[in-house]
Structure 1
Amino acid sequence: MKKILKQLFLGLLLTGITAWGVLALYYGDSMTSPWQTGFAVLFGLSGILALIDVLGLRWRFRYFWVHLTLFIIVLIAWLSIAPSNDRAWQQDVAKLAYATIEGDQVTLHNIRNFDYRSEFDYDPAYYDKTYNVSKLEEVELLAFYWMGPAIAHTILSFNFGEQGHLAVSIETRKELNEEYSTIKGFFRQYELMYIVADERDVIRLRTNFRNNPPEQGYLFKPTGGKENGRRLFLSYIEKINELYENPAFYNTLLDNCTVAIWERTWVNTEHLAFSWKILLSGYLPEYLYESKRLDQTLPFAELQQRAHINPLAKAAGDADDFSKRIRANYPPLD
């Protein structure tokens, strides 16, 4: 019995490392090529031979160790893949934002503000703007859904009162002709990018122009205090400048739009405890409500209904007061 359990354990181990190695070789560094596909197939066949060796009638491990050695070589090669800021980028992620700081004055450079005619037809535009950190009034959470309740893209928007709102969307930085893939996001395929944008860009793109599939946007106002919000904003600024100088990889599970937000909140002692609802990002607003970080005077279903912004965003269009109009369901701050 002990021998059978050991064989089963080794069989599961082999299956796991072989599947990982096949995908790592297939995706390689950026675009897949025929030779990558060939190496992936050969590594898969090697895994099958090792599995036969381990689960065969005779108790032999010779090919198991050969395959394990090949896996270590693949792993070392994969770990050597380095992120870069110098690639042929898609136009919507071509410019990285960065910040300069003088006391409480933070100047954001390359704030994206595209003028959209459709999702893929737009006029690129950027601007610089200075914000006074001491004027930050609140941090708001936006969640955009397109494939059921479990998955959402989350964005933070920083409300500086009279100085306006600044949205930051954590995304993959895709190269020309590159599509997003959840699986590829595990294999060092995309650089990580903090898109600093005008709300008329990053929100309106999703509510007004994304149609395949359409996205439904919700705006929530978590509680937490101004000082916590200011520390969070400066944590974002630190990360934005870090990525400008030292690129990093996006990871579908460990460094995505929602986990990265949660990690940035570690600057505050009152940050949320970890929950599976952070990994399944669509449930983050519900988790905030359960943690009493959202308005408790309404049931969550009613709060979520009030938070829905698509009709408001469509009516606002590209109006200068777009940010005010999409918050029509919320009373103004004192």
Structure 2
Amino acid sequence: MTQAIGLLVTLLMAMGMAWGAAALWFRLPGSRSRRRLAVACWGAAALALLLLGGQGQWWANGIQVLLLLLLLIWWFRLRPTHDRPWSDDVAYLATGELQGSHLMLHHVRDFDWRTRDEAEVHWEARRYDLDRLDSVDMIVSSWGRPGVAHVMVSFGFEGQQFVVFSVEVRRLKGERFSEIGGFFRQYELAIVAADERDAVGLRSKVRGERVSLFRLRMPQAAMRSLLLAYVEEANALAKAPRFYNTITANCTTLIFAMARGIGARLPLDYRLLVTDRLPGYAFKVGGLWPGFTLSELEMKGRIDDQARRVHRATDFSQRIRQGVPGWESLDRASLAQDP
């Protein structure tokens, strides 16, 4: 029994020290060389103390606990901020305000992307008539990693005007996204409102991702509530920054929380974490457009090829919806000729 307890203690200490090494690597300020040195010193100390602790030197376990406590004190003193040199695409956070029956959104992104890091930068304020709000679409973009996808929600106003909301990491200039880093407070959270030509075009044409669009079945009152929930969440985030987290505060969990907040009775499901399976979850709870199987919705909802062909067309949003279930009544005759 004593030996089993000793092994358990050693295992827990090893896990704690491994977490500490990752926390230092992803969050210690300074150069990469400084972080390498810190992680190397931490790892050497952890290995020595684990070996001594495994040999019955219980004071070694005490030192490990002390080191972890000191690290945790530093960890919980970390605070998110809005004051950092952000990448251009997340330089501004979306905010909005009601003006009677209209919604005014500030800092709507409408970039013309040339590469994944270069674009013609353009932010503007846009006004939306809430009485014309009549559609909500879920857009799922995946890039080949099993279980991983990015989820956005687009709101449509009588098939003529669309705005897409995207919950993203707020990266620094030149910084790349790391799913592992998302567990270690490496990024702040961002809510971006964008033109579909920007958000969908970036992922389909520039990044070459697989993009699917699913029209959601929602009462108009629920559509309005969800849109205003996004605005409320965005306004709150603009006032008080938060850390992004790969599991607890990401593009899917925030949508789930907002949907529950407006009264949707949604069960917990593993597919909320395995984001490329989210369409299956939405189908299971009856949220996707009726009259089709899930495989039909997935097949007919693929829009990346069409989005690449009509990139930056003035009627981009209408064109990418051609053939998508729920959009059969779209007036195809009104669309311009292919560029």
Kindly indicate whether residue 205 of structure 2 is the aligned counterpart of residue 223 of structure 1.
Answer: no
Give the C-alpha shift of residue 66 in structure 1: 1.2
Q: What's 1:71 paired with?
A: 68
Q: Within 2, Cα distance between the matches of 1:333 and 1:7?
A: 68
In structure 2, C-alpha distance between the alignment counterparts of 1:31 and 1:258, rounded to whole Å: 32
Separation (CA, whole Å) in 2 of partners of 1:29 and 1:153:
28
Match of 1:261 among 255, 263, 269: 255
Structure 1 residue runs without a partner (length 5+): none
Q: Tell me: CA distance 1:148–1:40, structure 2 relative to 1, closer, same or farther (3 Å).
A: closer
Alignment of 1:89-104 (within 5 A): 89-104=86-101
Q: Deviations over 1:33-55 (max 9, x none)?
A: 43333232222223223322332
Matches within 5 A, 1:33-182: 33-56=32-55, 58=56, 60-161=57-158, 164-182=161-179
Q: In 1, distance between residues paired with 2:31 and 2:259?
A: 36
Aligned residue in 2 for 1:237: 231
Q: TM-score, normalized by length of structure 1? A: 0.92
In structure 2, give the amino acid aligned to 1:245. Answer: K
Contact 2:214 2:289 in 1 (8 A): no
Instruction: Tell me whether 5-14 or 37-46 shows the greater mean CA deviation.
Output: 37-46
| SS at 2:282 equivalent | helix
How many residue pairs get aligned? The number is: 328
Candidates 182, 189, 195, aligned match of 1:198? 195
Whether contact under 8 Å (2:171, 2:187) holds in the other structure is: yes
Q: CA RMSD in A?
A: 1.9
Question: CA deviation digits over 1:242-265, x for unaligned, max 9?
Answer: 121211111111111111211221
Q: 2:186 aligns with which of 176, 186, 189?
A: 189
Q: Does the CA-based 8 Å contact 2:53-2:59 persist in structure 1?
A: no
For 1:244 and 1:126, how far apart are their aligned partners in 2? 16
In structure 1, distance between residues paired with 2:29 and 2:320: 38
| Greater displacement, 79-88 / 126-135 | 126-135
Contact 2:142/2:148 (CA < 8 Å) preserved in 1?
A: yes
Query: What is aligned with 2:315?
Result: 321
Q: 1:273 aligns with which of 248, 264, 267?
A: 267
Q: CA deviation at 1:222?
A: 1.9
Question: TM-score, normalised on structure 2?
Answer: 0.91
Instruction: Note if contact 2:159-2:330 (Cα within 8 Å) is conserved in structure 1.
Output: no
User: Are the counterparts in 2 of residues 145 and 151 from structure 1 also a CA contact under 8 Å?
Assistant: yes
Question: How far is 1:101 from its partner?
Answer: 2.2
User: Deviations along 1:226-275, whole A, 9 cap, x unmatched?
Assistant: 22221111111011111212111111111111112112212232242111
How far 1:160 moved relative to its partner? Answer: 2.0
Moved over 6 A (4+): none
* Kept in 2: contact 1:131–1:163 (CA 8 A): no
